[in-house]
Amino acid sequence: MRREADGWLDTLALTTRINAQVAAVTVHAAAGYAGTAQALAAPDVSDRAQEMAVVAEVACALTVGERTAGALLAESLTLTTDLPLTLSALTAGSLS
C-alpha cells in the first residue's frame, strides 16, 4: 500500500508540472495573439479600442471574464519580455 500511496503522490506532482507547462503555452499564445492582433490593427483604431478588442477575444477563447483575460495578457507580456528565465522555468514545469 505504501508504494501505491507514493505512486499517487508522484502522479499529483506530475500534474503540477504539466499544469505549469500548459500555463506556459497559454502565456505564449496570449502574447503571440496580442502581438499579431496589434500588427493587423487598422491604423485608425485607437490603442484603447484595440486593447479592448484583444481582451474580449482572449476572454472569449478561454471562456473567462475580461478582467481575467486582461490580467493574463499583462502577465504574458511581462513574462515574454521582462522575465524570460521565469517563463523558461514555467515551460520546464519547475515553477508553478
Q: Where are the domains of the chain?
A: 2-91
Give the pTM. Answer: 0.88
Q: Provide the 8-state DSSP code for 93.
A: T
In this predicted structure, the answer to whether residue 59 has a pLDDT above a threshold of 80 is yes
pLDDT of residue 32: 98
Q: Which of 58, 60, 68 is nearest to 28 (CA)?
A: 58
pLDDT of residue 95: 83
**91 contact partners, CB below 8 Å, separation of at least 6:** 20, 21, 24
